[in-house]
Structure 1
Amino acid sequence: MTTIHIQHWLKANQRTRVLPTDKWYLNFATSILPSVKASPLFCKEDCRTQANTAIALSMYFQDAIAQNGGWKLFTEVHRKVYGNHLPFYLPADNYVPDEINPEDIAFVLWTLKSQPGSPNQNYTLFSPYDKELLALSQTVYKLMDARFEEAPIREEASSCLWVTGTDLPDMPITPLPEVTPETKLGNLTSRCLKYSKGKPLLYFTNYKELCTFFVDILGWENKPSALLPDLEHKKEFVIYANTKGMLIAHNVAACFREAHNPMYDAKRAAAEGYDMFCQPGYCPFDLLKYGMAKGILPDVELPFPKGKEILQQNWDFIARYYLRQYYEGE
């Protein structure tokens, strides 16, 4: 594919009506396609992926020129929620929010290489500081800068969804369901906290230990169907007792650094813990949020250079981006 058809452009923009500016930005997307194809980042991708990349970069360009649309909305909401315009990148002194910036382009490229999954589908991770990603962002920035003065202002705002693929700005940050002295506790939470002497997190090595707790402490009926049989072959459980009740997670206990957790393992936390932030359904979000708020997930990191720094500083955005409807979900 050496050209990009108007139908491809319109589909990406989620409309059928052709605007007067479409031809210019479609031609620009086609003009940067050779740079995308030549980059080690995309040279082995299929033609459709390469074209989608060029289109996404051109959509960023048209949004930056028009100062509206999906890119404008994304950066405004990110600044409101997190205090800066972008995840990952600390803007340089010459960063101008209402103009084109290499950091912006790098983030767009990151979204194209970092794909969320689902409970039954794997996700993909990519470093926002990958050298080829940063190199391509500089190349594309120079191509945009050379055409900046002639780029037309689009009359209709682009879709608010194109940047991250879902309506992330509508996902609110809610308070932790923490127990306070004034909280009226349910039966399960009360029994958990009495057993743990007030500690919200309880740890169980295997299903047998968990069942003993269910029967002896919670008073559940001692028969298989009453003891969460789906967990029979799981291990390393964490229970989070909170105002909503009792959350149970499995295979994550090694990540939580607490004195009363016998399964804590810093090496495993570093090697495996990022799944909690990236794999939908892997860990209840309230438990993840509690762990980060209390500083008891200090070892989790992403599996590339600067992975700990990136995750620890951007964990909420990363969880929001990857977990989608599981972010702040029940």
Structure 2
Amino acid sequence: MNPITPQQFLIRQPAFPDRKPSDKFYLDLANRLLKECVSAGLFPTLHESVLSRLAICVTGYYQDILSDAGLWRAFTTQCRRMYGHPVPFHSEPEGYIDAELNLIDIAFLIWYCIAMIDSDHRDLYPLHPDVISLSKLWHGILDAEYDEAPMPEEYNIGFQLEVHNPEDASGLYRFSHWLFLHSYLLTPAFTLNLAQLAAEARISEEGGESRLNDLLEEAMSLQPTGPLALYLKEWIYLVLHDRLPEEKDAEEGKTSKEVHKYYKAVTEATGGSPIAYFSDYRELNKFFITALGWQEGEDHLPQFKNHSDFVIQADPEKGMLLARNVAKCIADPANPLYNAAYARRHAFDLLSVRGLCPPDLLQTILKNGWLPDAAFPDTDDRALVAENADFIARCYLQMFYRGD
């Protein structure tokens, strides 16, 4: 196992490319975590690059809580507001102290980092024995260093910044850039998006690096990221002001609109339900003609011919969405296609495979408890997924859950 290099470590630091007095201590600490993981024989199938990134991630968390930089505090505070406990998948134990070293924090970060950056372990069970064993091992090492570790002052990059202060503009940009592209907490969830952007930019060709930089600047404004799939502005407000930015009144400036014609058509055809299920393309196409009034004698949306198990959901304002290959997983009492045996094998995909289920439909499913069979692959722990379904969807799907 090769050690973590200074370059691998420093690029994740808020002061990069500058070096700080505490860098050597924390680089050595990250390498110690890496070495102890390998010596213990934990996660033997993980590539060394993933293990190195994992050690850097947990070291970053350690630097954050030691300096009270605010990123971890912002995450756990928002988790409490949304879910009632500081980190997903774990009940809050007695003695848990916010923004200090905690065993369940490390366990969560180990799962999160591996699942988000390693496609071969994307469906890792959060309570896998190696996750728990490694969290205990690393917690013991970090706890032993806690009182003597040097203060990583560079982690207070956002200290005293004000979102609406023009004099803080350059500092806010630097802080935002580190949060989105380099911080230990947000970057794992952006890994898949980054690979797609690199492909789009044709990074290996001339001018590819410049194109990628432009795409990354755009992504900072438009894409959610991190374990909660929050937009960068939301993360900044949480860290600096302990709240999300105020939302404009959704009704402000709105004029009265007619109900969308497809919503009328779908609810009239179903007897009032905005959702309809179809086993195959023939049934779906018939509905397009008889219920929506589309041209008779034509095959509409022929790209769906080779698919099945369709769901249509209508919305009074947006119109109609169509999902394929998911109906068997949805335990809607009105769904004749629901198949519990099939759902036990495939329901988790709705929470983890981007683009499989439209966000509006998935939110309806979760709101109504219609995904009871979902479990992490190779486990029967459906309760864990049921209790954390919104978080799982946010973390895995990102824009494909939060986007419109």
TM-score, L = length of structure 2 = 0.73
2:138 aligned partner:
140
CA contact (8 A) 1:40 1:132 kept: no
Counterparts of 1:201 and 1:116 in 2: how far apart (Å)? 36
* Runs of 4+ with >6 A deviation: 171-174
1:53 aligned partner:
54
Counterparts of 2:120 and 2:52 in 1: how far apart (Å)? 24
Counterparts of 1:298 and 1:47 in 2: how far apart (Å)? 36
Corresponding residue to 1:279 among 336, 349, 353: 353
The change in CA–CA distance for 1:211 and 1:57 in structure 2 (over 3 A counts) is: same
Q: Which moved more, 1:161-170 or 1:280-289?
A: 161-170
Q: Which moved more, 1:85-94 or 1:12-21?
A: 12-21
C-alpha displacement at 1:30, in angstroms?
1.7
The change in CA–CA distance for 1:280 and 1:210 in structure 2 (over 3 A counts) is: same
The one-letter code matched in structure 1 to 2:52 is A
- Specify the SS of the correspondent of 1:115: helix
String of CA shifts for 1:193-242, please: whole Å, max 9, x gaps: 000011121011111111111111101123657x1111111111111112
CA contact (8 A) 2:114 2:121 kept: no
CA contact (8 A) 2:311 2:324 kept: yes
TM-score, L = length of structure 1 = 0.88
RMSD between aligned residues:
2.5
1:80-229 correspondence runs (5 A): 80-115=81-116, 124-157=122-155, 159-160=178-179, 161-165=183-187, 166=190, 167=225, 168-170=229-231, 184-222=258-296, 224=298, 227-229=300-302
- Specify the SS of the correspondent of 2:152: coil
Q: Which moved more, 1:58-67 or 1:107-116?
A: 107-116
1:237 aligned partner:
310
Q: Identity of aligned pairs, percent? A: 31
CA contact (8 A) 1:278 1:318 kept: yes
CA contact (8 A) 1:255 1:269 kept: yes
Is 1:8 aligned to residue 3 of structure 2? no
CA contact (8 A) 2:115 2:123 kept: yes
The change in CA–CA distance for 1:44 and 1:256 in structure 2 (over 3 A counts) is: closer
- Give aligned pairs, total: 319
The change in CA–CA distance for 1:147 and 1:128 in structure 2 (over 3 A counts) is: same
String of CA shifts for 1:90-113, please: whole Å, max 9, x gaps: 121011112111101111110122
2:31 aligned partner:
30
Higher relative contact order (Cα pairs below 8 Å, separated by 6+ residues) = 1
Counterparts of 1:4 and 1:204 in 2: how far apart (Å)? 53
Counterparts of 1:83 and 1:264 in 2: how far apart (Å)? 31
CA contact (8 A) 1:39 1:132 kept: no
2:388 aligned partner:
314
